[in-house]
Structure 1
Amino acid sequence: MIRTPVFAFVISASICTSPAMAQDDGAYVELAGGITAANDSDYDSQTDPDIEGTIEWNSGFDLAAAAGYDFGTFRVEGEIALKEHSFDRVVSGTDVLESGPDLVLDLTTWSFMANALADFGDEDGIQGFVGGGVGLASTEIDIRDTRSGNNDRDNDTDSGFAWQLLAGVSAPVSDSVAVGLKYRYFNQGDISYIISDDDDFNTDFSSHSILAFARLNF
């Protein structure tokens, strides 16, 4: 797991010691990684209205790579990202329906996003940015059940529209490299899974991520 506080320390040191000015008006690539916290996912069954509950997720990781073009105060980019979470427990109201370690439930999300970002601040110092993106996400749920001597495994994937909001800060460490931190809110709704017995389970997925990144300008 990438430790965001370490990246924050490196970024702070770079800001204090590097009077460099990162380039604008050109192509760039960016790598990012950090931690992500998923919101609880409510679910229900299409075949049995009595089956419903909430999945509570553990914190996970978020990795991303992007390529784009910087127009000066405005950037556009294409981004691919991977998020992974394991579940903490499944609840219905105040009742705990399921928890580990004999039941494992993992969530893996690949997203392919087009982002638009607005930059503000000094080119030779700390810059801020805000923006958002839309695109396609594919989320897989993987269930492994070893309760009562079982060795069952089920998984399914659903793809659909996704959107996200982005905000962060960056600072140059050379004429072509900038580093920073950013926040990402990600949302993929209307997810449907067929897990077993041909039953469709409906849910959604959203998360909050803190990412450290490095950007190389050409």
Structure 2
Amino acid sequence: MGGGIGDATVHVTTKASKPFGPPTAPVQLIDDHVHGFAWQAVAGVAVPLSPRWELTAQYRYFDAGTLHGDDTRGEDFQTKIHGHNVDLGVRFAF
């Protein structure tokens, strides 16, 4: 098990097509780098298959909270950044 805290730097980009008219290139709505406090928690297990091989499983939760920035028009935006990871693997010991 483990965990961590720190600063997260997130690059937020959002594009949208024009709603009417002929197809055109997407319009850039947000293109900003935002920072915020982040934390994570990790838990995992390893099951021995033999003296040198283990089957592993790990879960990770990451949360950078609600980050605030400016869109391409200079208006404020906010977005919540969080995620879950599940990793499965095989470990070999030398």
Instruction: Check whether TM > 0.5.
Output: yes
Q: 1:171 aligns with which of 47, 52, 61?
A: 47
Matched, 1:142 2:25: no
Within 5 Å, give how 1:202-217 maps onto structure 2: 202-215=78-91
Amino acid at match of 2:13: D
Within 5 Å, give how 1:19-98 maps onto structure 2: none
- How far, CA to CA, are the matches of 1:138 and 1:215 in structure 2? 31
Task: Give 4+ residue runs of structure 1 displaced > 3 Å after superposition.
Answer: 172-179, 213-218
Matched, 1:132 2:8: no
User: How far off its partner does 1:169 sit?
Assistant: 1.3
Amino acid at match of 2:4: G
Q: 2:56 aligns with which of 163, 180, 183?
A: 180
Amino acid at match of 1:204: K
TM-score norm. by structure 2 comes to 0.70
Other structure's SS at 1:197 match? coil
> Unmatched 5+ residue regions in structure 2?
none
Question: 1:159: which partner in 2?
Answer: 35
Question: 1:199: which partner in 2?
Answer: 75
What do you get for the CA RMSD once the two structures are aligned?
2.5
- How far, CA to CA, are the matches of 2:92 and 2:33 in structure 1? 34
User: How far off its partner does 1:142 sit?
Assistant: 1.8
User: How far off its partner does 1:217 sit?
Assistant: 5.8
Amino acid at match of 1:179: L
Q: Percent identity?
A: 30
Relative to total residues, which structure has the larger strand share, 1 or 2? 2
User: How far off its partner does 1:216 sit?
Assistant: 6.0
- How far, CA to CA, are the matches of 1:215 and 1:133 in structure 2? 24
Deviations 1:114-154, CA, capped at 9 Å, x for gaps:
xxxxxxxxxxxxxxxx2222233222222122223442124
Other structure's SS at 1:196 match? coil
- How far, CA to CA, are the matches of 1:162 and 1:195 in structure 2? 22
> Unmatched 5+ residue regions in structure 1?
1-129
Amino acid at match of 1:180: T
TM-score norm. by structure 1 comes to 0.35
